[in-house]
Amino acid sequence: MSQGIEFNRLMLDMRAMQADAMARPKAVAAPEVGASSFADMLGGAINKVADVQGASSQLASAFEIGKSGVDLTDVMIASQKASVSFQALTQVRNKLVQAYQDIMQMPV
Percentage, residues of the chain above pLDDT 70: 84
- Name the residue range of residue 68's domain: 2-104
pTM of the model as a whole: 0.62
- The answer to whether the CB of 63 falls within 8 A of the CB of 72 is yes
Report whether pLDDT(7) > 70: yes
Angle between helix 2-23 and 38-64 (nearest 10)? 170
Number of domain units in the chain:
1
Please report the pLDDT score of residue 63 as a whole number.
94
Please report the pLDDT score of residue 1 as a whole number.
47
Counting every residue written for the chain, the total comes to 108
